[in-house]
């Protein structure tokens, strides 16, 4: 399933909660969470980048993200993930979203 980008929509808001501190970024719709994380130095670790390791998992509180790919769904099921858990390596931000990252690594 492909998500369409509205050309009239210039920026979307991504709110990131880390250890009780919330930061909001305005980003281009369709940008991958990995690129956003690197640009803004977010504590989201990436390793395999292909939905095989789960190290980039996070919790989604407000979902304006790309739909789960079959590979992401399969991995999250095998991981026995929480219902709102996603994999950062598989996610693009298409609309206003709110996510929570943990720093327990």
Report the CATH number that the domain containing residue 54 is assigned in CATH: 3.10.20.30
Number of folded domains that form the chain: 1
Q: Environment class of residue 36 by beta-carbon count within 10 Å: exposed (0-12), middle (13-18) or buried (19+)?
A: buried
Is 36 within a domain? yes
- pLDDT attached to residue 1: 47
Query: Residue 7 is encoded by which pair of tokens?
Result: 């050309």
Residue 5 within any structural domain of the chain: no
- The tens-digit pLDDT sequence of the chain (105 residues) is 456 656 666 899 999 999 999 999 999 999 999 999 999 999 999 999 899 899 999 999 999 999 999 999 999 999 999 999 999 999 999 999 999 998 875
Q: Is residue 2 part of a domain?
A: no
For residue 94, CA distances in Å to 11, 12, 55, 58 come to 9, 7, 22, 17
Check: CB of residue 86 under 8 Å from CB of residue 14. no
In a domain, 1, yes or no: no
Domain enclosing residue 37, as ranges = 12-101
Residue 25 lies in a domain: yes
Q: Is residue 66 part of a domain?
A: yes
To the question of pTM greater than 0.85 for the whole model, the response is yes
Assess if residue 93 is contained within a domain. Answer: yes
Q: What's the confidence (pLDDT) of residue 57?
A: 95
Q: Where are the alpha helices (DSSP H) in 1-105?
A: 33-39, 70-79
């Amino acid at each position: 399933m492909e998500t369409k980008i509205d050309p009239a929509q210039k920026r979307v808001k991504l709110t990131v909660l880390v250890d009780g501190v919330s930061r909001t970024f305005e980003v281009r719709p369709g940008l991958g969470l990995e690129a956003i994380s690197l640009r803004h130095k977010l504590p989201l670790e990436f390793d395999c980048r292909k939905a095989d390791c789960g190290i980039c998992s996070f919790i989604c509180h407000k979902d304006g993200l790309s739909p789960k790919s079959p590979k992401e769904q399969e991995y999250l099921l095998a991981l026995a993930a929480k219902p709102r858990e996603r994999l950062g390596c598989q996610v693009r931000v298409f609309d206003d979203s709110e996510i929570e990252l943990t720093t327990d690594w």
